[in-house]
Amino acid sequence: MTNRFLILAYAAVWAVLLLYAWSLVRRERRLEKELEDLQGDSTGERAGIEGVSASGHKST
């Protein structure tokens, strides 16, 4: 009977800690991806602008 409480306590604590670890990893990955996307977009736009100013035409 008392072992049930012991098991519940340990299971609950590890569940909370694992869920938190998972949420940290997920948030970190999402931010990294957003940053990569943003940097990718900026690079693409800059390349586009440079293409226009160098030749007077839009680069293909």
Residue 29 CA to residue 21 CA, distance in Å, equals 12
Residue 60 CA to residue 40 CA, distance in Å, equals 18
Residue 51 CA to residue 42 CA, distance in Å, equals 14
Interface mask toward another protein for 13-52; x: CB under 8 A: x--xx--xx--xx-xx--xx-xx--xx-xx--x--xx--x
- Residue 5 within binding range of another protein, rule CB under 8 A: yes
Residue numbers of the site for another protein (CB under 8 A)?
1-3, 5-6, 8-10, 12-13, 16-17, 20-21, 24-25, 27-28, 31-32, 34-35, 38-39, 41-42, 45, 48-49, 52
